[in-house]
């Protein structure tokens, strides 16, 4: 089986590595990939939005399956384009990807089908949005309606911050067309977790859950980011909560999408918060989370290639997961998530032991060494029989190196530990 993975980040590196480690997979390509992936796959210099060139590559190289990592090509219809040529690709259609591409679409779906989520209003007028904020008070959540690379959500703890956020998003078009409309939600309190599922033709295969850390600095302080670390499992959340999430959120959403004429195929990511009233949806994504993928996929013990073939062919499959715990820490460039300083030299971490894995996101190889080439540069994970041991191992490994020009959180996993 020959596989092409679309994308270039840490999430895609985890997908690539999972396919590489599958006995059923003979060759893995990644487009465009990054320099740190070259040991695990053949990098192909094609942008993820160059659909015509990608399909030509798939035809020429007899690729059996294309797996889409990032949200942008999904939102722009890569699945529709491939399927029109009879090519096998895993991901949602452009219509189904709206569940991530439009916060308004997702909220309206949830309200219509009684899927638990925060109360909200949608605005395109900055003054109306500010009036609503003054009426509701703070804390309050401001979200760009469209895609914003994981940076379009502001949890405003004060009225001033909330008002500034809507002025910046609507008035200053901070995220371009994506923030010309904003969703303003009630602030929910509780434990957050990520519930991801493989979905195809009504089949749902839930993954083990994980917990992400969005804030940039220790103690959950600082600006929201794309994620500074994650871990799996989440031992302080009972199995009953996981089952309730499936019953009240995941299954009804898959059924609702089919009823609406936009059936979902791909990775359904539910960002969930456990409130006093039970689990509620914070957001949906139409693809794997990052960095959650890097701590969830390596816990899969089944052959990934075999599973994907069975899923797409509608065949039953027993998807198996390790009981091991994995904890991952993002190494980010100074300035992230705002003005990133690129070019700092990464240490030679090739001597990490076998339980430590490195997933490359924003790196570039220069004269035989890696430098930072983005905001989130790498994610370093450790696997162990317990979460505490995994945490101790990863931070002991990181402490052996000089990370000048970079920073990382030192408290990943603190809610569980």
pLDDT tens for 204-262 read 999 999 999 999 999 999 988 989 999 999 999 999 999 999 999 999 999 999 999 99
Of the candidates 288, 284, 211, the one whose C-alpha atom is nearest the C-alpha of residue 252 is 284
Task: State the pLDDT at residue 178.
Answer: 82
- The Cα 307–Cα 203 span in angstroms is 13
Task: State the pLDDT at residue 92.
Answer: 98
- The Cα 254–Cα 145 span in angstroms is 21
Q: Is 136 helix (H, G, I), strand (E, B) or coil?
A: helix
What residues contact residue 400 under an 8 Å CB cut-off, 6+ apart?
none
Q: Around Cβ 374, how many Cβ atoms within 10 Å? A: 20
- The Cα 274–Cα 41 span in angstroms is 38
- Interhelix angle 10-20/304-312, rounded to 10 degrees, is 100
Task: State the pLDDT at residue 396.
Answer: 96
Task: State the pLDDT at residue 75.
Answer: 95
**φ and ψ at 55, to 5 degrees?**
-65, -35
Q: Are 258 and 217 in contact (CB under 8 A)?
A: no
DSSP 403: -
Q: Are 144 and 178 in contact (CB under 8 A)?
A: yes
- The Cα 371–Cα 214 span in angstroms is 24
Question: What are the distances in angstroms from CA 72 to CA 137, 146, 183, 334, 336?
Answer: 33, 11, 20, 26, 21
Of the candidates 355, 373, 354, the one whose C-alpha atom is nearest the C-alpha of residue 364 is 373
In the chain the domains, ranked by start, together with CATH numbers, are 2-91 (3.40.50.20), 119-186 (3.30.1490.20), 191-312 (3.30.470.20), 325-407 (3.90.600.10)
Reported pTM: 0.94
First to last CA, the chain: 41
Of the candidates 206, 232, 353, 223, the one whose C-alpha atom is nearest the C-alpha of residue 293 is 232
- Give me the residues of the chain with pLDDT under 70, please: none
Q: Is 248 helix (H, G, I), strand (E, B) or coil?
A: helix
- The Cα 228–Cα 295 span in angstroms is 12
| Farthest-apart Cα atoms in the chain, separation | 59
pLDDT in tens, 125-151: 999 999 999 999 999 999 998 888 777
């Amino acid at each position: 089986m020959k596989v092409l993975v679309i994308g270039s980040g840490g999430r895609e590196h985890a997908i690539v590595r999972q396919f590489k480690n599958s006995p059923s997979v003979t060759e893995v390509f990644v487009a465009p990939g990054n320099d740190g992936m070259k040991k695990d796959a053949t990098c192909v210099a094609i942008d993820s939005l160059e659909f015509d060139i990608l399909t030509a590559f798939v035809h020429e190289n007899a690729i059996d399956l294309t797996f889409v990592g990032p949200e942008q090509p999904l939102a722009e219809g890569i699945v529709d384009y491939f399927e029109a040529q009879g090519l096998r690709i895993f991901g949602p259609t452009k219509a189904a990807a709206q569940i991530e591409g439009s916060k308004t679409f997702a909220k309206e779906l949830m309200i219509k089908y009684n899927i638990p989520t925060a109360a909200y209003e949608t605005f395109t007028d900055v003054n109306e949005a500010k009036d609503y904020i003054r009426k509701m008070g703070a804390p309050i959540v401001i979200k760009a309606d469209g895609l914003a690379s994981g940076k379009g959500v502001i949890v405003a703890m004060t009225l001033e911050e909330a008002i500034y956020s809507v002025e910046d998003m609507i008035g200053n078009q901070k995220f371009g067309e994506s923030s010309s409309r904003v969703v303003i939600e009630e602030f929910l309190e509780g434990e957050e977790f990520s519930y991801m599922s493989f979905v195809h033709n009504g089949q749902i295969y839930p993954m083990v859950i994980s917990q992400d850390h969005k804030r940039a600095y220790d103690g959950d302080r600082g600006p929201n980011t794309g994620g500074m670390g994650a871990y799996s499992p989440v031992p302080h959340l009972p199995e009953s909560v996981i089952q309730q999430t499936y019953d009240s959120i995941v299954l009804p959403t898959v059924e609702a999408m089919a009823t609406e004429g936009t059936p979902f195929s791909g990775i359904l990511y539910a960002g969930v918060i456990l409130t006093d009233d039970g689990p509620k949806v914070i957001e949906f994504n139409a693809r794997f989370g990052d960095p959650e993928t890097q701590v969830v996929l390596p816990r899969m013990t089944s052959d990934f290639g075999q599973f994907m073939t069975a899923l797409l062919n509608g065949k039953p499959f027993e998807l198996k997961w390790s009981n091991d715990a994995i904890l991952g820490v993002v190494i980010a460039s100074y300035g992230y998530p705002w003005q990133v300083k690129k070019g700092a030299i990464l240490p030679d971490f090739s001597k990490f032991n076998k339980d430590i894995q490195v997933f490359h996101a924003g790196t570039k190889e220069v004269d035989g060494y890696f430098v930072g080439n983005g905001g989130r540069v790498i994610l370093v994970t450790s696997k162990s029989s317990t979460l505490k041991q995994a945490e101790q191992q990863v931070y002991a490994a990181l402490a052996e190196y000089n990370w000048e020009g970079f920073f990382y959180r030192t408290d990943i996993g603190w809610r569980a530990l």
